[in-house]
Amino acid sequence: MPLVDTNWLEKNLDKVKIIDCSWHMPQTKRNGFEEYQELHIQNAIFLDLDKNSKTDTDLPHMLTDIKSWEKIVSYMGIGNEDQIIIYDNSDVISSCRCWYNFIYFGHDPSLVHVLDGGLKKWMNEKKPTVNNLTNTISSNYIANEKKELVKDKKQIEENINFNKFNVIDARSRERFEGKVPELRKGLRSGSIKNSFCLPFSDLINEDHTFINRKKILEKFKLTKCELDNNITFTCGSGVTASVLALAYSLINNKYMPKIYDGSWSEYGKF
């Protein structure tokens, strides 16, 4: 299953590789790495979504190339057979984006998990944290890119006419319907034609855990989107789209996450 709970992780801290992938929206003025330095779960390695993304683009945290990803993961000391637990301390549940990245680059999906509730739940339960940087020994990670799991703008535009897959948007309904301005400059308001809306926050409890599977299914059914294996998720910049992708995989174990990487940061440009 894509999720593990805090009690399981506490019992298995030395048996898994742990990643802190806290990323915050710019307007929050929070810094994930600075917060990691102050405290984190024992053995956790920090992964900066922005710094470890594609560099030759003005779009935020786009997937990097395969060779760069191999270097990133090797530097973290993670091997191809390692079980990985990813957490965050973010209101946008950024750990799910890291989960997607690993699956996109070919890590066995059964070995990649997100900590349900993240650091917020861990700390609320008064489980131990540390502030020392985690030492790593470099590995020789080999990636296997799954290009079918990402959509680009051309594919999204063509799909409007040919309807080969459905698109579900994770942004708020107000943003989806164009009733409020976009947070990033240079973007129009609105959404991709024929897409559906399911705000990612509808799937998250106050303690940052996912709602139960029955409720997740109900939320997806309310979109009126056909619930098959051919759904692509989008959002503002590809982070909360991954929250929907993980949630959908909880109710459809045959689903492999598909993301429009550029999302509205690309599609909504004037």
What residues contact 142, with CB distance under 8 A and at least 6 apart? 70, 80
Average pLDDT value for residue range 206-230: 97
The pLDDT assigned to 27 comes to 87
Domain membership flag for residue 135? no
Residue 80 lies in domain: 3-124
Domain membership flag for residue 142? no
pLDDT in tens, 28-86: 999 999 999 999 999 999 999 999 999 999 999 999 999 999 999 999 999 999 999 99
State the Cα–Cα distance between residues 242 and 24, nearest whole angstrom.
15
State the Cα–Cα distance between residues 59 and 111, nearest whole angstrom.
29
State the Cα–Cα distance between residues 151 and 2, nearest whole angstrom.
22
> Model confidence at 1, in pLDDT bands (50, 70, 90)?
confident
Domain membership flag for residue 190? yes
Catalytic residue among 96, 98, 197, 235: 235
> 10 Å Cβ neighbour count for 173?
14
CATH of the domain at 198: 3.40.250.10
197 is catalytic: no
